[in-house]
Amino acid sequence: MPRAVAVGLPEPAPQISASGECMITLPGEVDEYRVRVGCDVVAIEDVQDSLAAFGDRYLRKVFTASEINDCQGPNRVHGLAARFAAKEAVIKAFAEPDMPFPLREIEVTRDGPLPLLRLSGAVAERAQHQGWLSSSLSLSHADCHAMAVILVVCSQAESE
Amino acid sequence: MQDQIRDVLAAHGRMAVDPSEVDSQADLYELGLTSTASVNVMLALEEAFGIEFPDEVLKKSTFASVHNIEQVIEGLVKSSA
């Protein structure tokens, strides 16, 4: 039975460890484009508690006016929680823990049914520096939790 | 100041340990502080100290320990005086 391999990608060269085991180190690149992934999960109850404790101050600190407007109706808190997860997923994709991340500079917008990522301010500048070219964002939620996954394709090298 | 910070952590940090017994240098994320809880901690600290955390200090390390929180708040209090 042939092994499934990604089309167009070179197979990673196996190495033999000191104990004789076969090891492969998978590259973090696809066709020389660097790929970054971030994910996060948020408890719906936590966002409910934040809203109950801090109300509008919480909303204004974390979400843009557009995001707040997009989250209406019975699933409002679930939508907010998914957007919070998206912001944290993006922060993880940057992989720079000492960088400031104003949460409103990471915004989830919509293009029909698809969520899109919009960056602004210092976060947008940092994305340009890291060579971010495009992204794909996925949001989901259940009764208890919301989650987000972001995949980012970057240029071959960071800008100086 | 550290007592006030620990009170805020106890009320909003949702940590698995009692913040009053945590070493000031201990890693709060390893002790259960989550990203959602750290936002609540930030908002409660703003109320408690009459300050506003500017964008440039909204980084993970700011809330990584009682000591780090104290350092940032001291700087903000001084700059607003």
Q: Which residue has the higher pLDDT, A113 or A62?
A: A62
Mean pLDDT of B37-46: 94
Query: Does residue A58 fall inside a structural domain?
Result: yes
What total of structural domains would you count in chain B?
1
Give the nearest partner residue to B39 out of A61, A100, A105, using CB atoms.
A61
CB contact (8 A) between residue B39 and residue A50: yes
Query: Does residue A11 fall inside a structural domain?
Result: no
**Contacts of residue A139, Cβ cutoff 8 Å, sequence gap at least 6:** A82, A83, A85, A86, A108, A115, A146, A147, A148
Q: Domain of A74?
A: 21-154
Mean pLDDT of A94-120: 91
CB contact (8 A) between residue B57 and residue A100: yes
The ipTM value here is: 0.87
Q: Domain of B59?
A: 2-80
User: What angle do the packed helices B35-49 and B66-80 form, to 10 degrees?
Assistant: 40
DSSP annotation of A145 reads E
Q: How far is B63 from chain A (nearest CA, A)?
A: 11
Question: At B26, which CATH number?
Answer: 1.10.1200.10
What total of structural domains would you count in chain A?
1
Average pLDDT, chain A: 87
Query: Does residue A8 fall inside a structural domain?
Result: no
Question: At A42, which CATH number?
Answer: 3.90.470.20
Closest CA to B63 of B71, B55, B74: B71
- The pTM of the full predicted model, rounded to 2 decimals, is 0.86
